Amino acid sequence: LEAALLNLVLNAQDAMPDGGTITLATETTGPSPNPAEFPGKSMPDGRWVRITVTDTGIGMPVSVLERAFDPFFT
């Protein structure tokens, strides 16, 4: 988790060459009441933690966004 958050923050920093804001937020929550959010998954009851990372960077072009989760895509 630490490595994932560090990578997210470093990527966000690179997307803001002229400065900006990176926000990390946490909240205690439960499983989503919307089953479409996790299709085919059974989410057990209990306490959950949501971590949200946002930034005011320039974003990704559509061509990059479409492949952002492809293995080995950089």
Whose CA is closest to 27, among 56, 50, 55?
50
Give the per-residue pLDDT at 15.
Answer: 84
73 within a domain of the structure (yes/no): no
Distance separating alpha carbons of residues 69 and 71, to the nearest angstrom: 6
Is 50 contained in some domain? yes
Burial code (b: 16+ CB inside 10 Å, e: under 16) for 7-27 equals ebeeebeeeeeeeeebeeeee
pLDDT in tens, 10-21: 988 888 888 999
| pLDDT tens figures, 60-72 | 889 888 988 888 8
| Nearest residue to 50 (alpha-carbon basis) of 38, 32, 67, 72 | 32
Asked, for residue 60, whether it belongs to a domain, the answer is yes
| pLDDT, tens only, 11-61 | 888 888 889 999 999 999 877 667 677 677 777 777 888 899 999 988 888
Domain that holds residue 54: 2-34+44-65
19, two tokens: 């400065």
Number of domains into which the chain is organized = 1
- Say if 10 falls within a structural domain: yes
Q: Is-above-0.85 flag for pTM?
A: no
